[in-house]
Chain A
């Protein structure tokens, strides 16, 4: 089964803990993205990476960190500095020829 996978589907975290969300793709796409989806606010860009070992902050990067050590993987760490981490997180990759984004199924993070 090809495409983008995210794990876990649901994640619970206690306040003060860091947590890492996984995103993997086997589409051979260079660019990958992390979005946060909140009701009424649409998708907001957290971080994006256009190539391995390079990434840029999006519009709401504070309290988040990423790495891009492999083309296939773009994990997102939600740190304890993120003041309101409870949200639905979407990962995407970009097909360069048609400038189309392919999305994963998402991870719902709940901070208890």
Chain B
């Protein structure tokens, strides 16, 4: 079955602490992995994608095909990182159907 699993519904950390939002996936083939973020009163938007291998707002995510994981990390959390984070995957050819995880709400405490 094709699935994206985010085990944590809520993650609370203190400002300046490291953050890791977990994402595991199940997919037959080679998917493309994404992290989308929804800040309060804003639209859902792309944060980063594994193909780009870039750091956005201090966040990075490495695709681990062996563990089928795509965890999102940031060494020092900021209050403005508080948001809802969704891990997602899509196929890389043909039908671009997306599968989203259930989301993790990150709260960064002062």
Q: Which residues of A approach B to under 8 Å, CB–CB?
A: 31, 33, 35, 40-45, 48, 50, 56, 58, 90, 92, 94, 98-106
Contacts and interface: CB of A to CB of B under 8 A. Distances in A.
Nearest to B87: A42
Interface of A (DSSP majority class):
strand
Nearest to B99: A45
28 contacts: A35-B100, A40-B9, A40-B102, A41-B102, A42-B100, A42-B102, A42-B103, A43-B44, A43-B88, A44-B100, A45-B97, A45-B98, A45-B99, A56-B95, A56-B97, A58-B97, A94-B96, A98-B49, A99-B32, A99-B49, A99-B92, A100-B49, A101-B36, A101-B46, A102-B45, A103-B43, A103-B45, A106-B43
B12 to A, nearest CB: 17
Contacts of A98: 49
